[in-house]
Amino acid sequence: MGKIFKMILLPLLLVSILSLTIALGCNGDKADPSEEFSQLELEQILTDSINIVNTADSYQMNINMEIFMDMSGGSEEGTVDMDMAIEGAYDQKNMEMYMALEIYMAMDTGLEKGTEEMTMDMYLVDDYLYMKMSIPEMGEEWMKMPATEENLATWDMNMVDQQLVVLESPGEVTFRRYENFDGGECYVIELVPDLATLMEWIGEQGLADLGIGWEDVGVIRDIFDELTYTCWIDKETKYMKKMTAYMLMKMSGDVFEDLTGESGSLTMDMNISMEMYDFNKSVNINLPDEALDAMEFGDFGF
């Protein structure tokens, strides 16, 4: 399961929710809006939208991810199918956050068959980060740690930020159409991220600490067969109301062996859908009473 976890963790770092509906927003509907916007104008729309998200007092979001992996060769040959649902609220003005994750995984590999379901709740309140996690032989337990800059960087679960990092370095940007969504007319913009800048960002994320032993993370660019984002940005408010992403990764040869220690190949499809709403509306982030007795993270030996 350790190797499978590493292979799932990598795309979560690259994109999550992120994770972004399952369709890409194109669907053959390329009603020629060509030349209606220049590249600079489209990039400015994206920049304005990202700035609004970063400076909003608050917002809420829902993210859904679907990941399918097919591995050939090695001890874990077989398939892994994972669904992840995330809902959350960010109060950036008061530095508070709530996020709930539900993960369902179906495995049919050489080492493991069956299904697993996992949940995790996270709260950032009163300068503490609280997490309800499942600890082996202990069941569900609440843990907490001071919300220091170092701890927040280590446990960065802001899936929205992870997506926006990619959007800040668009390589190819295309205006697809106008479309009504969530009560407003939106620009629908498709982009293919600039992989060189993306690789630089990945290299700053401390992959070695995660047990991914690539000395040169630039090799990752060779495994991308497709990586496409589509954004729905409100024409009036510039709110990023929806974002989808599709990623197809193919690993074989030395790359697969470096990651798993075995020979073989891997194909991974990933769809992410994220919706954002209630910008600058008050949110109530209330820590459950049961979390008040949470143990300090260090008491668990981490």
Asked if residue 261 belongs to a domain, the reply is: yes
Higher-confidence position of 148 and 106 = 106
- What does the block give as tokens for 88? 């959350």
Asked if residue 235 belongs to a domain, the reply is: yes
**pTM, whole model, 2 decimals?**
0.76
Q: Domain containing 72: what range?
A: 2-6+12-21+33-300
250-280, pLDDT tens digit by residue?
877 776 776 667 788 888 898 989 999 999 9
pLDDT given for residue 203 in this prediction: 54
Using an 8 Å Cβ cutoff, are 107 and 4 in contact?
Answer: yes
- What does the block give as tokens for 27? 């669907």
Q: Residues 83-101: what's their mean pLDDT?
A: 90
- 193: domain CATH number is 2.50.20.20
Name the E strands within the chain: 58-72, 78-91, 96-109, 113-125, 128-135, 139-146, 170-181, 184-193, 224-234, 240-252, 265-277, 295-296
pLDDT given for residue 141 in this prediction: 84
190-225, pLDDT tens digit by residue?
988 766 655 555 555 544 444 444 444 455 556 777
Asked if residue 100 belongs to a domain, the reply is: yes
Residue 264's region, left for phi above 0, alpha for psi from -120 to 50, else beta, is left
Asked if residue 28 belongs to a domain, the reply is: no
Asked if residue 27 belongs to a domain, the reply is: no
Q: Residues 240-248: what's their mean pLDDT?
A: 90
Number of domains in the chain: 1
Single-letter amino acid code for the residue at 121: D
Using an 8 Å Cβ cutoff, are 178 and 235 in contact?
Answer: yes
- Would the pLDDT of 100 be above 60? yes
Asked if residue 108 belongs to a domain, the reply is: yes
Asked if residue 26 belongs to a domain, the reply is: no
pLDDT given for residue 202 in this prediction: 54
Asked if residue 215 belongs to a domain, the reply is: yes
Higher-confidence position of 247 and 155 = 247
